[in-house]
Amino acid sequence: MKITLCGGGSWGTAIARLLSNKGHELNFYIRNKEVIEDVRKNKENTKYLPGAKFEKEINLTNNLDSVLEDIDVFIIAVPTSSIREVLTSIKGKISKEVIIVNLSKGIEVESLDRISEISSEILKDNPFVALSGPSHAEEVGKDIPTTLVASSENLKVAQTIQHEFSTPIFRIYTNPDLVGVEMGGALKNIIALAAGMNDGLAYGDNSKAALMTRGIYEMSKLGISLGANPHTFNGLSGIGDLIVTCTSMHSRNRRAGILIGEGKSMEEACNEVGQVVEGVKTVKSAYKLAKLKNIEMPITNALYKVLYEGYDPNKAVYELMTRENKDEIEQIFFE
């Protein structure tokens, strides 16, 4: 296939390398000229994904318009806050048959739209696929076996991406529940921030296990209210992605949470991580969505207070632990 990938960060680089090494004709758009020169010279992105060598030639460019003609797939690998700008910039420049594949995980703060909804608004005729699951770029770049899920409202399109992107170290399942897959991928970053704060506060395994367990429940409640299949949250884009993001030091969200738990501000933590920490903005998006849907999300609410109202993390934990006693399973799952 002829593919254009937009976004030269670690995850975009990992997927560009994987698809190029598989034999696809790849155009790799990177905005930063210095990163382009680095990849061209060293056959790797030493800034964002050191050690992951490109085995085949790729077309590197910082002119997106020059790599839109006659492509089969357009891959988005930019922060959620930049998605609308990128899709608007290619509107009218690609055919309606081009498959839009999104690698980002978030919810737009201003509109509260999922990324598929943004794509549908701007490129209404183009099929859309979300690729999600437990997949750190650092491991994909080292050819460590990884399993993801491709989700689309059009099963044939999801199966096309499944077939064309799969390799012996990169296994892809399909799932038609686009709402659940997107919400799982976005919301797990909130819980990973909380898990990192747990570590930064020097709490233990008991509290982290509780955060992760109640976190997946909280994620599923909001997802179900938007029409998601509850079973999706038990899969790769739900609990699978949650586990890897809450436990790995590859996770930007967990690393940022650790720094916040140690006493640094949200801004200081994000600056030290050095790349976009999607969970910070997703906390705000999910907080707003939960209010609109009248869904109780105590972990998200606590994080919102810590990040955006300067609340003390220890006090937030105390309030979580001393909330009104409840049943573990709520009626929402049986309606």
2, 33, 93, 188: the catalytic one is 188
Q: Is 253 annotated as a binding residue?
A: yes
Q: Is 252 annotated as a binding residue?
A: yes
Phi/psi-derived region of residue 23, left when phi > 0, alpha when psi is between -120 and 50, beta in every other case: left
Look up 284 and say whether it is catalytic: no
Q: Is 264 annotated as a binding residue?
A: no
Q: Are 128 and 4 in contact (CB under 8 A)?
A: no
d(CA 238, CA 232): 6
Q: Is 276 annotated as a binding residue?
A: yes
CA 141 to chain centre: 17
For the record, the structure tokens of 170 come out as 């990169």
How many other CB atoms sit within 10 Å of the CB of residue 40? 12
Q: Is 105 annotated as a binding residue?
A: yes
Contacts of 39 (CB under 8 A, 6+ apart): 8, 13, 28, 30, 45, 54, 60
Query: Per-residue b/e over 309-323, b at no fewer than 16 CB within 10 Å?
Result: eeeebeebbeebeee
d(CA 66, CA 88): 16
Q: Is 133 annotated as a binding residue?
A: yes
Q: DSSP label at 317?
A: H
d(CA 252, CA 240): 17
Q: Is 278 annotated as a binding residue?
A: yes
Query: Per-residue b/e over 234-248, b at no fewer than 16 CB within 10 Å?
Result: ebbbbbbbbebbbee
Q: Is 214 annotated as a binding residue?
A: no
Three-class SS of 32-92:
CHHHHHHHHHHCCECCCECCCCCCCCCEEECCHHHHCCCCCEEEECCCHHHHHHHHHHHCC
CA dist 116 → 106, 183, 227, 310 (Å): 11, 11, 14, 33
Q: Is 102 annotated as a binding residue?
A: no
d(CA 151, CA 178): 5
The binding site for NADPH consists of 10-11, 31, 48, 105, 137, 252, 276, 278
The binding site consists of 10-11, 31, 48, 105, 133, 135, 137, 188, 241, 251-253, 276, 278
The binding site for sn-glycerol 3-phosphate consists of 105, 133, 135, 188, 241, 251-253
Residues classed as catalytic: 188
